[in-house]
Amino acid sequence: MTTQKKLIVLSGPTAVGKTSAAIELAKHYHTDIISTDSRQFYREMKIGTASPSPSELAEATHHFIGNLSIHDYYNVSLFEQQALKLLDELFSTKEIVIAVGGSGLYIDALCYGIDDFPDIDEKLRAGIKSRYTNEGIEYLQKEVERLDPLYFSQVDRQNPKRLQRALEVILSTGKSYSSQRIRQKKARNFSIEKYVLNMDRELLYQRINDRVDIMINDGLVKEARELFPYRHLNALNTVGYKELFRYFENEISLDQAIIDIKTHSRRYAKRQITWFKRDQSFQWISDISKLL
């Protein structure tokens, strides 16, 4: 009997230690790592996204790290297609593959699939993007609430990427986004085990604060300044960058920007934990010893 291939998904809040834990698992199982961190895809955002260091990348083969530019168009549907194709290739020689990251939507796409929506006309996309750039997230919020109040009641209203995607589909099809979300799980030809790496909340928050200080020392301000001209791009609507952009625009001091990065990172970790708690298929662990 052929043993079914297995995908081990390791997730958890930001700064909990997912990268080092995934490397340990990959070395133990002699396998590769697929990143499900939607910001570590971008090669220009190494410091602010806590991408694996060159030495960490040398310890285990990683995929979907620095594979895109912030100027590339990308979405979760493309990730699903590419990641499944890669898994087919990896499973031809490996029994187990590790997926790691904290982006819940991308984990869901890999494990369950996402709904198929039509291709969006580039002129329509550009028009929505232009209005968002000029009018801010309030434009996206107002339009999605007007055209699809049901989805607006469910979506993270501070996430412009989700709002923009919904508006693109609504205006392209003439139908509400919520009515087109089938949310039916797609079959996978491999088994899946999902784990959330977690720790005491106070310790996690201290780790977040410490990591922000390390990022600043490693050159985050310089990295963000180089990206400042492209601040309108969706990829850069990211904690660690948008606070420094406000500093560059003389809205706040550098000290305040650092305080805000820490505060917003802690809030992001809290939202991640809430997301994972909604999915009963996750097993919560404090270390990975049981997986070795």
> DSSP string spanning 212-275?
HHHHHHHTHHHHHHHHGGGTTSGGG-STTTHHHHHHHTTSS-HHHHHHHHHHHHHHHHHHHHHH
Q: Tell me the pTM.
A: 0.84
pLDDT at position 165 is 86
Q: Which residue has the higher pLDDT, 160 or 196?
A: 196
Q: What angle do CA 159, 20, 292 make, to 5 degrees?
A: 115
CATH number at residue 140: 1.10.20.140
Q: Are 99 and 191 contained in the same domain? A: yes
Q: Are 155 and 266 contained in the same domain? A: no
Q: Are 99 and 195 contained in the same domain? A: yes
pLDDT at position 269 is 96
Give the pLDDT band of residue 1 (cuts 50, 70, 90): very low
Arithmetic mean of pLDDT, 77-82: 93
Q: Is 102 exposed, middle or buried (0-12, 13-18, 19+ CB in 10 A)?
A: buried
Arithmetic mean of pLDDT, 79-93: 97
pLDDT at position 173 is 87
CATH number at residue 52: 3.40.50.300
Cα-based distances in Å from 214 to 22, 29, 96, 171, 207: 21, 31, 33, 44, 10
Question: Over the stretch 29-58, which tens digit does the pLDDT of each residue have?
Answer: 999 999 999 999 999 999 999 999 999 999
Number of domains in the chain: 3
Q: Are 140 and 221 contained in the same domain? A: no
DSSP letter, residue 66: S
Structural domain boundaries, residue 90: 6-115+185-199+275-291
Residue 1 within any structural domain of the chain: no
pLDDT at position 2 is 53
Q: Are 80 and 195 contained in the same domain? A: yes
Q: Are 150 and 241 contained in the same domain? A: no
- State the CB neighbour count (10 A cutoff) for residue 133: 12
Q: Are 108 and 251 contained in the same domain? A: no
pLDDT at position 180 is 77
Give the pLDDT band of residue 155 (cuts 50, 70, 90): confident
Cα-based distances in Å from 62 to 19, 155, 165, 175: 10, 31, 28, 39
Q: Are 249 and 193 contained in the same domain? A: no
Average pLDDT, the chain: 93
